[in-house]
Chain A
Amino acid sequence: MQAVFTRPKTLKDTPTHFCPGCTHGIAHRIVAEVIDELSIREKTIGIPGVGCCVFLYKYLDIDVLEAPHGRAPACATGMKRVLPDRIIFAYQGDGDMASIGTAEVIHAANRGENITVIYINNSVYGMTGGQMAPTTLLGQQTTTTPYGRNFRTEGYPIRMAEMLATLEGVAYSARVALHKPKYVMQAKKAVEKAFTMQINEMGFSVVEMLSTCNTNWRVSPTEAIDKLENEMIPYFPLGVFKERTGKDFL
């Protein structure tokens, strides 16, 4: 019998720590598939930030460096300067990248560091128990916005993919979603594009992935999928915000 669907080699056969219904594991699988298909497992190094993404090494069979909260793009910068021919990616959540680590990601992007950032946006701090993130939607209840996020006191949800796309050093910036098969296929294409950009030395690439957090959103997994579709996507539109076609920055 012909196998038509198998586990990617780069994805370890191990139970996951993610909550049932969370779409984060899909991001891992996408990254693993792309690493396999581009045949770069033996020269790829992953740098996860702090939070739900920290256990990257439990799932991906690649070299991994754990970065302090928000600092993965700086760690990736240092590493890439030492090993310019390796494929180096940071792997961050929204609390990590859009809050504590904004300076590091903006400046790595602006320097045109030839690295990739996989950015999981679920609009909340997951591992610490559901506190407000910079990406928390207006009106969204979290443990630190118990009456719902109010722009007068907490400001507005931050759109990282669009913001990073304005920077000269950025080669590719896209936003995708992980909650339905057609989006997952688009997400995989974006990750493949981002890694290919790095292989071709085009500069900084980032893929923002809208992901569910049914536990901290306090809804069922199916309701979380509807919420992502009906509430997140209207504020965080999907699409490619920047794509370089040549090394015109050189």
Chain B
Amino acid sequence: MRVLTKGNIALAEGAIQAGCKFYFGYPITPQNDIPEYLAKHLPRVGGTFIPAESEIASINMILGASAAGARAMTSSSGPGISLMQEGFSYLAGSELPAVIVNIMRIGPGLGGIAPTQGDYNQAVHGGGHGDYRNIVLAPASCQEMFDLTIKAFELADKYRNPAMILADAMVGQFQEPCRLTPKDPVIIPQKPWALTGAKGRPAQLIKSLFLGPGEMEIHNLDLKKKYDTMEQNEVMYETRHLDDADIMIIAFGTPSRIAKTAIQFLRQEGVRAGLLRPITLFPFPSKAIHEYSRRIHKVLVVEMNTGQMLRDVQLACHNGTKVYFYGRPGGGIPYPDDIMAQVKKIL
């Protein structure tokens, strides 16, 4: 059965369905529906909500809960996510799973609460210190807010790595009919590495400090292998009308939906445009983009920023592909007309 649900609520219910029993967070707009929903509904599944004193405390409560073997989540937006970066680095360095939600707001600084994709670089290319990657999932619908949250918990546990849901405020706020039950049964894996007290086994340690000669390099190379495996096995993307396309639009989140409308209108006018929508931003669908760009020589990247995913697309594209960009970085949403005008200018 489908119910009319807001993106943020679908995400919060997804966390509960994924077996997340521990949520710690600090209020910031436009993601407050998530902690408010979980404060109300976690107790019904025997879970715990703590209104933490700061985002720094939230992410470190997650660190402790995750080390104890639990599925744990926090959510925030822009400035709050910036404060958590140290924690992401520690989670990655300590190989601890966790789900972090960033419902992006415009920045830099206090910026504003309107939708944006300005945190792409921070989410995908680091933000915290050291040589690490977050798994980054980018939902574009209420249904995906639910489904990809469950997926984020699976991937976080599978790789013992932080996974981020990176959504803009539009996806968080709009309402759509949504199926709030998991497609597949949720299986929470055993975690023999968790710290539970050394009963009947040798004492265990979870750490990220490696001072011995060469130890840190070995650790970083091991982490790199893990990220390489993710790139081989976990890439997700959606395509539309690419078989005969003369131009490939690449967009994620809200702009990808607007691009779909633009493509529909363009096709009615006889303009053959298609879409590639990355669902995983790390691992990035570089191979797929490369393959499509061998045949489709014109690419238009549409983002709600000044061109952050653009760099990854440029690196992925086949030599000789012309990559164009259209961006709205100030909280403005691109209209289908805007995208159609850009496409017509290029073709």
Residues of A that sit less than 8 Å from B by CB:
41-45, 47, 54, 57, 60-68, 71, 74-83, 86-87, 103-104, 106-107, 111
User: Which chain A residue lies CB-closest to B57?
Assistant: A74
Contact A77 B207 (CB under 8 A): no
Residues of B that sit less than 8 Å from A by CB:
22, 24, 48, 50, 52-54, 56-58, 60-70, 72, 86-87, 90, 94, 195-200, 203-209
Taken together as a complex, chains A and B put the C-alpha atoms of A178 and B186 apart, in Å, by 52
Q: Could you pull out 10 A-B pairs where Cβ atoms are within 8 angstroms?
A: A42-B199, A45-B197, A64-B195, A67-B60, A67-B64, A74-B52, A78-B63, A78-B68, A78-B72, A79-B65
Contact A78 B196 (CB under 8 A): no
Indicate whether A65 sits within 8 Å of B197 (C-beta atoms), given known contacts A78-B22, A103-B54.
no
Contact B204 A63 (CB under 8 A): yes
Contact B206 A42 (CB under 8 A): no
Contact B203 A63 (CB under 8 A): yes
Contact B63 A75 (CB under 8 A): yes
Name A82's contact: one of B60, B69, B200, B207 (CB within 8 Å): B69
Contact B198 A42 (CB under 8 A): yes
> In the complex, what residues of A have CB within 8 A of residue B64's CB?
47, 65, 67, 74-80, 82
> In the complex, what residues of B have CB within 8 A of residue A43's CB?
197, 199
> In the complex, what residues of A have CB within 8 A of residue B205's CB?
57, 63-66
> In the complex, what residues of A have CB within 8 A of residue B56's CB?
71, 74, 103-104
Name B68's contact: one of A74, A79, A87 (CB within 8 Å): A79
Q: Closest CB-CB distance, A246 to chain B, in whole Å?
A: 25
User: Which chain A residue lies CB-closest to B24?
Assistant: A78
> In the complex, what residues of A have CB within 8 A of residue B203's CB?
57, 60-64
Indicate whether A68 sits within 8 Å of B87 (C-beta atoms), given known contacts A77-B50, A77-B64.
yes
> In the complex, what residues of A have CB within 8 A of residue B57's CB?
71, 74, 77, 103-104, 107
Taken together as a complex, chains A and B put the C-alpha atoms of A80 and B24 apart, in Å, by 13
Q: Closest CB-CB distance, A102 to chain B, in whole Å?
A: 11
Contact B209 A74 (CB under 8 A): no
Indicate whether A63 sits within 8 Å of B196 (C-beta atoms), given known contacts A74-B64, A78-B65, A79-B68.
yes
> In the complex, what residues of B have CB within 8 A of residue A78's CB?
22, 24, 60-68, 72
Indicate whether A61 sits within 8 Å of B198 (C-beta atoms), given known contacts A66-B94, A71-B56.
yes
